[in-house]
Amino acid sequence: MKKIEAIIKPYKVEEIKNSLVEVGIHGMTVTYVEGFGSQGGHKESYRAAEIAVNFLPKIKIEVVVDDEKVDVVIEAIIKHAKTDPNGSIGDGKIFVYNIENAIRIRTGEIGSVAL
Amino acid sequence: MTKSINEKETTVVLSKIKDDKTKKKELRIKKVIIFTVVLFATLIVGSFFAIKTTKFINLDDLSSVNNSDTGFMIISSILVMLMTPALALFYGGMVRKKNVLGTIMQSFVALGIVSVIWFLYGYSLAFGGDGNIIGNFNFAMLKNVSLAPSDGLTIPHQLFVIFQMMFACLTPALITGAFAERFKFKSYLLFLILWVTFIYCPLAHWVWGGGWISKIGGIDFAGGLVVHIASGVAALACCIMLGARKGYKTENMPPHNLTLTFIGLMFLWVGWFGFNAGSALSSGTLATTAFINTQLGAASGLLAWLGVECLHRGKPTVLGGMSGTLAGLVGITPACGFVTPISAIVIGIITGMICYVLTTFKGVFNYDDSLDVIGIHGTGGIVGSILTGIFATTLINSDGANGLLYGSFKLFNAQIISTIASIVFSFFGTLLILYIIDKISGLRVSEFEEMQGLDISQHGENAYRLQI
């Protein structure tokens, strides 16, 4: 089992969710996060105060899947997270982790059946 | 063995902590009991006096009461009352999340404290007698204030009291924007009482209560001197005495909710019609003039600010528009009953532009006027008061005077003198008050409390929660 963690632009979340459902993913966790990478930030002004906003709002999607599905999921996320055909700065990142185990609280099922 | 000793020690320590807590609780309960007893004692003594001083109303005195004027003034008073909670929202949206309740509370509590002060002795100090400097105690606890109109007015005397009460509540609340996010609440209560008593009441007496400014011919239709210069200049004194917020100029301190600020501003704008048109003290032509001038001043201030901002920064901001509207409203306040509508537009534009320049370059002066009270109320009040000396005309209001534009220097000189006098009085008076409070209970919250935010450290509550 692997966990795929994708940090994406907020307005892309619906599109990515739909594409993941299409490839057979039926569960995910979404978190609203802030951060910066190579995109940097932007400037805001409030009366006299000019403020550099470094932390941009992003969304973090976490999906845990069986090993054989990892490539499909990554492909789908990359395809839909790009903001133009060549991609642009700030489109996000994907991290893949190993997952030791999964347990469904309701039934106590263990392993990939619990996903 | 060692384990059991440790356990014993911890139990001893724990029981000590428990003892301390129960002792503190007992102390608190005692304090509450003492407070309640004192409160009830005052109420009983007060009501005894009230029974002694209440007079029966003579129906003959009431013949000069005009019902349409009375209705208009009751509604105006309601509108002006609305401005204080509006200010709470206006300022509340501009501070950081952790300080929103603390900021709202500073305006909110003014409604309570100042209303009572106004009843006890405030109105009397401001409007009693003909003294040059200050009133007397003839009207204390509304002793000689009946329903019969006073001084050639057509509304009940008590209605005049309550209309003026709303102004008195608003003025000290305006100052709170300057020391936002750092004033100790208990000291603030003391500040409210002292400031209203020793700065607001004398100033209101000078201008409206028959004091020296009205005698030399200085005019202030709805409170440019008394409300805006007084609060704006007091704000400067506060900034100097309190110092900047922790992290000022090194950390980002953006407003946390500008929609809240917008709601506040809209209520301020609506309330301002009561403030300005109501200052005619009767419904009719003068109130209408003030009404239209108020709207035009606000509108042109809004456009002026947005215009300059666009040229300077490239983008018009909502907060900028709100600031310009406020600047226009402040600027037109002293003039609204004395000038023509075209002058109102000119006044709005000039005030909006000057206020923009001052708030934008305040960094040069190195004081932390957190929500720009000096930049908007102080500056706007001064500019408006001087412009009144230029644009006022007796064509609009025969009780007024002709300004510079209409060929008379007398009014202009009077405006300059009264503006400077108000600035000096409010500035040094506020410095002295703050110095005294600093000696009694300290002005600022501790560094840790400031980091925590006023909501938790001063009031023990939290405006927003992430969960549930």
Write the DSSP string, B388-405. Answer: HHHH--TTT-TTS---GG
In a domain, B75, yes or no: no
Mutate to test the interface with B, among A46, A50, A51, A53 (most CBs of B within 10 A): A46
Label residue B11 by pLDDT band (50, 70, 90). low
Contact between chains at A48 and B363 (C-beta distance less than 8 A): yes
Structure-block tokens of residue B425: 């009085």
pLDDT tens, residue by residue, B86-127: 999 999 999 999 999 999 999 999 999 999 999 999 999 999
Structure-block tokens of residue A60: 């973090």
Label residue B145 by pLDDT band (50, 70, 90). confident
In a domain, B61, yes or no: no
**Which residues in chain A have their CB less than 8 angstroms from residue B252's CB?**
51-53
B48 and B94 assigned to the same domain: no
Work out the average pLDDT over B324-348.
Answer: 96
Label residue B1 by pLDDT band (50, 70, 90). very low
Domain count, chain A: 1
B241 and B376 assigned to the same domain: yes
Say how many CB pairs under 8 Å bridge A and B.
27
The whole-angstrom distance between A50's CA and the closest CA on chain B is: 9
- Asked whether this complex has an ipTM greater than 0.90, the answer is no
B25 and B128 assigned to the same domain: no
pLDDT tens, residue by residue, B212-255: 999 999 999 999 999 999 999 999 999 999 999 999 888 889 99
In a domain, B362, yes or no: yes
Say if residue B53's pLDDT is above 60. Answer: no
Residue ranges making up the domain that contains A79: 2-114
In a domain, B60, yes or no: no
Contact between chains at B360 and A51 (C-beta distance less than 8 A): no
- Helix and strand element counts for chain A (H, E): 2, 6
- Pick from B252, B315, B319: CB nearest A47: B319
In a domain, B113, yes or no: yes
- Pick from A45, A51, A53: CB nearest B313: A45
Label residue B52 by pLDDT band (50, 70, 90). low
Say if residue B277's pLDDT is above 90. Answer: yes
pLDDT, position A49: 80
B240 and B176 assigned to the same domain: yes
Contact between chains at A47 and B323 (C-beta distance less than 8 A): yes
Label residue B26 by pLDDT band (50, 70, 90). confident
B300 and B380 assigned to the same domain: yes
B136 and B272 assigned to the same domain: yes
Domain count, chain B: 2
**Contact with chain B for residue A45, Cβ under 8 A:** yes
**Contact with chain A for residue B341, Cβ under 8 A:** no
Label residue B10 by pLDDT band (50, 70, 90). low
pLDDT tens, residue by residue, A10-66: 999 999 999 999 999 989 999 999 988 877 778 888 887 888 888 889 999 999 999
In a domain, B71, yes or no: no
Kindly list the distances between the CA atom of residue B308 and the CA atoms of A46, B356, B408, in Å, as whole numbers in the listed order.
14, 8, 32
pLDDT tens, residue by residue, B373-389: 999 999 999 999 999 99
B124 and B213 assigned to the same domain: yes
Label residue B7 by pLDDT band (50, 70, 90). low
In a domain, B386, yes or no: yes
**Contact with chain A for residue B249, Cβ under 8 A:** no
Residue ranges making up the domain that contains B448: 86-459
B36 and B166 assigned to the same domain: no
Do residues B422 and B199 lie in contact, with contact meaning Cβ atoms separated by under 8 Å?
no
B261 and B399 assigned to the same domain: yes
pLDDT, position B28: 85
The whole-angstrom distance between B462's CA and the closest CA on chain A is: 22
In a domain, B229, yes or no: yes
B191 and B119 assigned to the same domain: yes
Exposure string over B161-185, b if 16+ CB within 10 A, otherwise e: bbbbbbbbbbbbbbbbbbbbbbbbe
DSSP, collapsed to helix, strand or coil, labels residue B279 as helix
B345 and B265 assigned to the same domain: yes
- Helix and strand element counts for chain B (H, E): 18, 0
Task: For residue B28, report the phi and psi dihedrals to the nearest 5 degrees.
Answer: -60, -45
